[in-house]
Structure 1
C-alpha cells in the first residue's frame, strides 16, 4: 500500500523531530536554559495555545461545514497546520518540563567559563571569535550563540581567561586561547531610599 494511504499514528508523530531540527539532549543530561530563553519558549507555547491554535480550529470548523472535505483546501491546510501546532506544543511542553533554568548573572565578574558566559577566544591562526554559551533550545549561531553541548562550548567550559584549551573539530584538533570571559550584569532591584 502506498504511504499516501496510510494513517499517521500517535507513535509516528512522537518519532518526528518535534523541535524543528534541534539536536536531542545528551542522554542523562539536563536541559539548561537561561531565564530569558525559558521566558521566550513559554511565551511561544502560550501564544500557540491561546491565540494561534483557536484561530486555526475556527477555520477548520468553518471549512468542514462547507461540505466535501476531500477537495477543500482550507480544511486540508487547516488540519495540517493543526498537526504542526500540536506537535510544537508537545515539544515545548516537554522541553519546559525538563528545563533547568540557570541564571548566568550569578557569575558576573568571574573569569571562569560557565553556562551563559560570553567568551572571546583566539584560534591558532590568530583569528578572534566571540561566542555566548546558551541552552540547546535558545542558541542561535547567526547571533554568535552556541549550545552548551557544542564542541567549542565543551572545550571552553571551566577554562579561565588566559587558559589554552584543545578544540577537537572534524578538521583536526587545534588549540584556542581564552582571551576574555563576560557575563550579563546582575540586575539587582534596589528599593528607593
Structure 2
C-alpha cells in the first residue's frame, strides 16, 4: 500500500491540477464533444470519438484526484525535525567517489511530475535516510549492490520561506 503523506507544495499542485481539469480542460473538451455530436453519425466521427476519449481520461483523473486528496495527510515542517532527516527534507548526500546528490523526500503522489530530485518516502534511499543527521553514514541496498552515502546537509522548506 502506498503512503498517504504529502508535502504542502505537493498537495497544492494536486489541488491546482484538479481545479484546472474541472474548470478549464473539461468544459473545453465537453464543448468539442457536443459540437462533434451535433454533426450526426457518431460511429464514424473521429472528432467525436477522440474528444470523448479525452473526456473519459479527464473524468478518471478528476475522480482519482478527488478521492486521493481526501486520503492524503499534509506533513508540515515542525521545529523538532531540525537537524534530522524526515519527510519533506532536502538532503545533500555524498559517496566515497565524491558524487554529490541533493534529494527531497516526498510522498508517492509527488513523484508524478518526475522532478529529478524528488524521491518517494517508500524508496530504499528515503527509508535509509530517515532519522539520520549530518555526517551520518547511510547504507542503501540497490540492484547493483550496497552503496554507502554520507549526509552532508539537511534543510526544510518552511512556510514563511517556501523557496528552494
TM-score normalised by length of structure 2: 0.89
Q: Greater relative contact order: 1 or 2 (C-alpha under 8 angstroms, separation 6 or more)?
A: 2
Q: CA-to-partner distance for each residue in 1:143-163, whole Å, 9 max, x for gaps?
A: 411111111111101111111
- Which of 115, 134, 137 is equivalent to 1:161? 134
4+ runs deviating over 6 angstroms: none
Conserved in 2, the CA contact under 8 Å of 1:117 and 1:133?
yes
Give 2:102's aligned residue.
130
- Distance in 2 of aligned mates of 1:158 and 1:54: 46
Give 1:82's aligned residue.
55
May I ask how many residue pairs the two structures share in their alignment? 160
Conserved in 2, the CA contact under 8 Å of 1:109 and 1:182?
no
Give 1:35's aligned residue.
8
- Distance in 2 of aligned mates of 1:109 and 1:159: 11
1:90/1:109 Cα in 2 relative to 1: closer, same or farther (>3 Å)?
closer
Q: Which structure 2 segments of 5+ residues have no match?
A: none
TM-score normalised by length of structure 1: 0.76
Conserved in 2, the CA contact under 8 Å of 1:111 and 1:161?
yes
Cα RMSD, aligned residues only: 1.8
Q: Which structure 1 segments of 5+ residues have no match?
A: 1-24, 189-193
